[in-house]
Structures are given as C-alpha cells and as structure tokens.
C-alpha cells in the first residue's frame, strides 16, 4: 500500500527544493535556519541554535567557514523533509555540488533511508529514488582548519558515550557535546567532573509542519540521525578550533538489521559511513579535522564490561529512547532489553534490578524482542542494539553463571530453544579482541588499549 502512496506522492510533488539557508553569529551564539519546499503549500523552515560559550573562537576566525558548514547541515537536514513525499527531483539552489558530491549524497540518503524504504514497503533503487540538481557555482565555499589538538565528545547519556567521556574526557581540551540535551546526558557530563555548563550545546528544532504532514498520512520513518550529528560535530569543531571528534560507535553497528541485505538501522554509525564521511570532510570541508569512533575496535560485550567498572554512572545513565523525556527506563522496548542482556554478565542481579526497576529476564512481554535479539526470530529489532552473536554470548554466560539455580522466564526459553540456534557463538566474544577496522588516531588508541587491559 505504501509503495502505491510513494508513487502517488511523487507524481503530486515532483520537485523538492533546498531554497536557502541563513545564519547569524552574535553575543548569544550561532543561529541557523533553512528553507525547504515541496510545492507552494509545503514550506519547511527548521533551525538550530548553539549558545555562545567561553570556548568559542573569535568571530573573525569562525565567520569565513560558516557558509560551507551551515549549507552542508542543510543538505543532511533536508532528508527528514524530503521523505514525507519523496519527490524524484531535488534542486539545490544555494551552492553547486560536483558530480562526486552528488553521488556521495545519494549514497547517504539512500542507505540512510534503508529502514524507511523497507518498513514502508517501497520498491526503489539508488539510481531511481532521487535525482539531485545543483548547478549554482556562484558562491565559493572555503574549507575550515582546526587551531588546537582538542577533542569533541558527543554525549547522549548511554553507556557507550559515557565510556568515551570517562577515558577521553580527562584529556586536555576535551569538550563534551550534547544535542537537544536530555537529563541523562547532562548528569553524566557533570558526574565525569565537567563543570556545570562546561559543554557545547546544540538546540535543533524541527519544523512543526512536518508533524502535520505525518498526521495527514504522508510518508514517515527512520532517517540517519548519526549522519546529521556528524555534520553538526564538524561545525562544533570549527566553532571551538578542535581537531578531533570522537564518536562512540562500536564494531557491532556494522551488522545489518535485515540479514543478507544492506538495511541497517545503524547505517550512519557503521564503519562504512564513518570512512565515507571522513573522505568527504577531507575533500570538501576540512583536510585536518579527524572524525572517528573511539570505540570502533571494541564489541558491545567489551564495552559493557568496561562500563560495569564505573559504578558512579550506573544510577544516571540511560539508553532508552522511549524513556528519554522522563529520564527513565521504560522496561518495555528492545533497547532496554539489550542493555539488560549485555550488562547482565558483569553486574549482580540486585544491581541490575536497581538500575532497571525490575527483572527484564522475567517479563513475558519482552519475548518477541528477546527472540529478535538472540536470532530465534528472522530479523533484529530496528534499534541501536548489538549483534546476534554478542547477545547469545552474553545470555549463555549468564546461564553458565546461574548453573544449578532456577532460570528466569526468558533464560529458560533460551535453554529450551538452544537447538534452534543455527550458528555457533564465537567464544572469543567474552574475551579481549580488537577489531582492526577503525580510524582511531594512535594517541587515542593507546588510551583505549590501556583501559581495556586495566
């Protein structure tokens, strides 16, 4: 049904226009806004604001790089609005894009929307879903250069970014970054020793007309948020002069959500995107800025084991999207269950119950998610969760630890269905391993190895 709607909307709205962008830099900070159009009746004007802090560079240093950086943020912002009607043509008015750039953006849009296309039943291809037209070469865009060796650390309040913050946050000129900050992220930053307000804040605002279209039955679904964050981090690095941007994406993000395909909820957290993005930044934005994922060499079990050693965060971290507004674990979603499973080999049952408020292994309402996470179901949940092998390794380790005792509901279910597991679990997952496919600079790599073996 959605595939028919996809074609109907494309016929009705044949062109999506990135009309313009604007920005202002004053004593309050940096404000930016964009204008997108899907026909005369559907105009979108999303915006952002970055409050000025003491670590901003002088305005005369910042100003020359802003046209290029704000324009590029518009290029990634537009995909949230394009997807409502999926017009076959996208016109980029403010600046030109080379053929190489156009192909790069088509890859990001297409693979970043893989989940959106799949769940909406849309049959399309990378050569058919969009044509980009960008011919305005009138305004040259200047590249930007860092001025110090500092590091930007995006923090979301989950265990992964907390681990990066704890290991890298003590380094000279490290600067936490939060987008539309939730309480867990701010609490973790403060708990790490950062002064109140000593972080860079990005306030991003969606145009409410998009929500109106969603309620009217236009297309809706997942977009590559981490790709959007990536471009904002380049802007943050420019505002503060920092050279390094340390994400907290692990090797597990590379596994497709739908086996045997390239459909991956975490596409823009994957090593493939990271590598592609680094190349684009060095070609078109800043040859000296280093964007990388600090935790890429590790898998989720290693991260959980390390995080278990930082009890000062156990009462304040959160990895639940549904509970982000209330600063709670909902205890009903796949992300809550995954966090429970991956931490359960390393924390006591009592501590786990204190963190999550109940024993998730004893909740029958989580059976479907448990089957998806362990591979008993055909597909993983569309969420930021680890690999099927990692989940199986953690579950088996917990069953081993509880030998001779009655098992809770989901662990007993796992034992009953163990014969259905089609592939052996790598026993090395419970030990130290180091994925060689990463972009971590040598000084940071040594810090990670030291933390791993401490």
CB 154 within 8 A of CB 233: yes
Q: Quick one: 359 and 417 in the same domain? A: yes
Q: Looking at the predicted structure, is the pLDDT value of residue 140 above 60?
A: no
Q: Quick one: 7 and 148 in the same domain? A: yes
The residue out of 243, 273, 293 marking a domain boundary is 293
**What is the predicted pLDDT for the residue at 330?**
95
Three-class SS of residue 71?
A: helix
Q: Quick one: 273 and 353 in the same domain? A: no
The residue out of 293, 318, 343 marking a domain boundary is 293
Confidence class of residue 220 from pLDDT cuts 50, 70 and 90? very high
Instruction: Report the mean per-residue pLDDT for the chain.
Output: 92
Confidence class of residue 282 from pLDDT cuts 50, 70 and 90? very high
Q: Quick one: 135 and 237 in the same domain? A: yes
Residue at 260 is within a domain: yes
Residue 136's domain comprises 2-293
> What are the φ/ψ torsions at residue 21 (nearest 5 degrees)?
-140, 160
Going by C-alpha positions, the residue among 303, 306, 309, 307 that lies closest to residue 250 is 303
Q: Looking at the predicted structure, is the pLDDT value of residue 141 above 70?
A: no
- Residue, of 107 and 451, whose pLDDT is higher: 107
Residue at 302 is within a domain: no
Q: Quick one: 240 and 288 in the same domain? A: yes
Q: Quick one: 287 and 355 in the same domain? A: no
Q: Quick one: 214 and 276 in the same domain? A: yes
**What is the predicted pLDDT for the residue at 425?**
65
Q: Looking at the predicted structure, is the pLDDT value of residue 27 above 80?
A: yes
Residue at 449 is within a domain: no
Q: Quick one: 255 and 360 in the same domain? A: no
Q: Quick one: 42 and 179 in the same domain? A: yes
Q: Looking at the predicted structure, is the pLDDT value of residue 60 above 90?
A: yes
Q: Quick one: 40 and 182 in the same domain? A: yes
Three-class SS of residue 21?
A: strand
> In the predicted model, what is the mean pLDDT of residues 206-227?
95
122/316 Cα distance (integer angstroms): 40
Residue at 312 is within a domain: no
What's the number of domains the chain is made of?
2
442/241 Cα distance (integer angstroms): 21
**What is the predicted pLDDT for the residue at 1?**
56
Predicted TM-score (pTM) above 0.75 = yes
**What is the predicted pLDDT for the residue at 434?**
82
Q: Quick one: 160 and 228 in the same domain? A: yes
Q: Quick one: 156 and 27 in the same domain? A: yes
Residue at 265 is within a domain: yes
307/392 Cα distance (integer angstroms): 19
Confidence class of residue 435 from pLDDT cuts 50, 70 and 90? confident
Residue at 258 is within a domain: yes
Confidence class of residue 136 from pLDDT cuts 50, 70 and 90? confident
> Which percentage of the chain shows pLDDT scores above 70?
95
**What is the predicted pLDDT for the residue at 146?**
74
Q: Looking at the predicted structure, is the pLDDT value of residue 453 above 70?
A: yes
Confidence class of residue 359 from pLDDT cuts 50, 70 and 90? very high
CB 358 within 8 A of CB 391: no
Cα Rg, the chain, nearest whole Å: 22
Residue at 313 is within a domain: no
Residue at 444 is within a domain: no
Confidence class of residue 138 from pLDDT cuts 50, 70 and 90? low
- Residue, of 179 and 172, whose pLDDT is higher: 179
Count of beta carbons in the 10 Å neighbourhood of residue 454: 8
């Amino acid at each position: 049904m959605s595939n028919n709607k996809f074609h109907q909307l494309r016929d009705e709205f044949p062109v999506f226009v990135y009309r313009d962008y604007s920005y202002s830099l004053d004593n309050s900070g940096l404000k930016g806004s964009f204008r997108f159009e899907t026909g005369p009746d559907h105009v979108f004007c999303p915006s952002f604001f970055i409050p000025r802090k003491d670590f901003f560079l002088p305005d005369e240093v910042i100003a020359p790089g802003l046209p290029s950086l704000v324009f590029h943020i518009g290029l990634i912002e537009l995909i949230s609005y394009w997807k409502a009607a999926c017009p076959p043509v996208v016109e980029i008015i403010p600046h030109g894009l080379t053929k190489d750039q156009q192909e790069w953006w088509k890859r990001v849009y297409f693979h970043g929307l893989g989940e959106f296309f799949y769940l909406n039943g849309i049959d399309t291809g990378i050569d058919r879903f969009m044509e980009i037209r960008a011919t305005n070469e009138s305004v040259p865009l200047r590249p930007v250069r860092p001025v110090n060796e500092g590091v930007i650390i995006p923090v979301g309040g989950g265990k992964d970014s907390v681990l990066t913050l704890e290991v890298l946050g003590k380094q000279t000129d490290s600067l936490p970054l939060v987008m539309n900050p939730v309480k867990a992220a701010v609490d973790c930053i403060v708990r790490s020793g950062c002064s109140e307000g000593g972080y860079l804040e990005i306030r991003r605002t969606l145009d409410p007309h998009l929500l109106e279209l969603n309620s009217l039955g236009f297309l809706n679904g997942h977009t590559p948020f981490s790709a959007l964050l990536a471009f904002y981090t380049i802007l943050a690095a420019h505002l503060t002069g920092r050279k390094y941007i340390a994400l907290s994406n692990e090797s597990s993000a590379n596994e497709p959500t739908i086996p045997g395909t390239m459909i991956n909820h975490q596409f823009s957290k994957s090593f493939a995107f990271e590598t592609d993005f680094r190349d684009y930044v060095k070609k078109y934005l800043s040859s000296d800025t280093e964007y990388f994922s600090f935790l890429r060499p590790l898998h989720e079990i290693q991260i959980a084991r390390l995080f278990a050693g930082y009890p000062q965060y156990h009462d304040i971290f959160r990895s639940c999207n549904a509970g982000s507004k209330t600063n709670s674990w909902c205890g009903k979603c796949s992300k809550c269950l995954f966090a429970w499973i991956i931490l359960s080999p390393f924390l006591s049952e009592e501590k786990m119950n204190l963190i999550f408020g109940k024993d998730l292994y004893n909740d029958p309402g989580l059976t479907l998610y448990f089957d998806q996470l362990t591979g008993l179901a055909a597909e993983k949940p569309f969420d930021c969760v680890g690999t099927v092998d990692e989940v199986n390794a953690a579950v088996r380790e917990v069953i081993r630890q509880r030998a001779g005792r009655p098992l809770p509901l989901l662990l007993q279910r796992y034992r009953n269905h163990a014969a259905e597991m089609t592939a052996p679990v790598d026993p090395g997952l419970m030990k130290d391993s180091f994925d060689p496919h990463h972009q971590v600079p040598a000084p940071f790599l040594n810090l990670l190895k030291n933390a791993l073996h401490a």
